[in-house]
Amino acid sequence: MSVQEINFDGIVGPSHNYAGLSLGNIASASHKGNVSYPRAAALQGLEKMQANRALGLAQGFLLPLPRPNTALLTALGVDGTADPALTRAAWSASSMWTANAATVSPAADTADGKCHFTPANLVTMLHRGQEWQDTAAQLKIAFGNPEYFAVHDAVPASFGDEGAANHMRFCTGHGSSGVEVFVYGRPGGKFPARQHEQASRAVARLHGLRPEKTVFIEQNPDAIEAGAFHNDVVAVANERVLFTHALAFADQQAAYAEIRAKFPELEVVEVPADSVSLAEAIKTYLFNSQLVTLPDGGMELIAPLEAKIPSVERWAETAIGGNHPIRAVRFVDVRQSMANGGGPACLRLRVVTDPEFVDPRFLLDDAKAELIGNIITETWPETIEPAQIGDANLAQHVTDARMALLTALDLTKLG
Ligand code: SUG
């Protein structure tokens, strides 16, 4: 084995539902109150993982966190008089979006030569702010070998941190040293700027990144206002390529220049606003595709089905192919996640390391995919109606379903 990019997808938890909890996330708000399909959601996610494995990509997973979170309900003194939104928060399956689990700096970039993780505190949203301690516990098992990995605590809650969703890495090959780019939002707009500059800078220091190989860029406030609550809704990087909407950053040309100054090999694939508008980019999640390098060296986009619209297809027809760094677009069905504002790239956390260093219980192979698929099919609720959130029987059902998965994977320690 050797150092490579491994995508760790979040398995969609059995309490997956549409509670409209994320202010500034248009998909979450517009699907509020819909019936959800947790079983189908989790199977869609698993199918994406298997499809990526079939392309020759390494694949891992992280497990759903315990929901409903009774500790959160207790801490808030939730009783019959409390705002039902608090109960809904405690039921959220939002840990499926592992791009927000942590920021990861591969060993080649850090001062001590270890791969560093800082779990994201996700403090802007109640339902997400409850994730990080359980996420950290999981990361400490999956990446528990202290010779190769360092797992930090989240940065203090005064500074919002949303993890890898606001972080990009440029390199000539995954294993070589890279330039890490942190994208933060300026507060004060209509919607919260979830990634604070000071959080990004703290993560860079904690990871021991070299200043001459680190860049901090401001997100375009208009993009946040249009619904790009994370930078990965409007831009994605892979090796030397930045695939971005033309309106992703506060100063687009300055952003390219700053990255290029530290990473001269940068190749920008910019989609102009008159080809795909900002609104279309956010609606379709084109830029929340996984941009991957396949074993033969070719780069492809793993895009959500929602991006199959005429303007995107017109752009792809003229732009993709030939000598273009991105040679093809493949579509995946993650519609259940998309309806809560989570595309293919939100569902995965990229870790560059040798798979041999990772706890094998978190790595996917065919046998494990079958096992996980069977448990989801047998135990995940088929549907959740909004009125069921808070129901004691359903709480038992989702708790038991998750425990069945933990037991099958020999990970009851995460109970
Ligand atoms: O934090 N949706 C998530 C989506 C996260 C997408 N991740 C990335 N872009 N990397 C969020 O807004 C909706 C849950 C609800 O409304 O019930 C939610 O949390």
Mean pLDDT for the stretch of residues 234-261: 98
pTM for this entry: 0.98
Is 171 assigned a catalytic role? no
Reported as a pLDDT band with limits 50, 70 and 90, residue 323 is confident
**Burial readout 107-124 (b: 16 or more C-beta within 10 A, e: otherwise):** bbbbeeebbbbbbbbbbb
Beta bridge partners of 244: 235, 270
**Burial readout 335-361 (b: 16 or more C-beta within 10 A, e: otherwise):** ebbbbbbbbbbbbbbbbbbbbebbeee
Q: What is the pLDDT of residue 321?
A: 76
Q: Ligand 1: distance of its center to the CA of 128 in Å?
A: 8
Q: Which of 367, 396, 391, 361 is nearest to 379 (CA)?
A: 396
Q: What is the pLDDT of residue 322?
A: 75
Domain around 165? 4-414
Ligand 1, pocket residues at CB < 6 Å: 19-22, 25, 28, 92, 94, 97, 99-100, 128, 165, 229-230, 232-233, 340-342, 346
Give the domain CATH number at 319: 3.75.10.20
Residue tagged active-site, from 127, 239, 280, 346? 346
Counting residues of the chain whose pLDDT is more than 70, the rounded percentage is 100
The separation between the first and the last C-alpha atoms of the chain, rounded to the nearest angstrom, is: 31
CA–CA distance, 80 with 70 (Å, rounded to integer): 15
Q: Ligand 1: distance of its center to the CA of 361 in Å?
A: 26
Is 230 assigned a catalytic role? yes
Q: Ligand 1: distance of its center to the CA of 97 in Å?
A: 7
Give the chain's domain count. Answer: 1
Is 196 assigned a catalytic role? no
Q: Which of 150, 164, 159, 157 is nearest to 97 (CA)?
A: 164
Strands (E), 76-137: 102-105, 115-119
Residues 283-300: tens digit of each pLDDT: 999 999 999 999 999 999
Q: Which two tokens stand for residue 254?
A: 């300055």
Reported as a pLDDT band with limits 50, 70 and 90, residue 1 is low
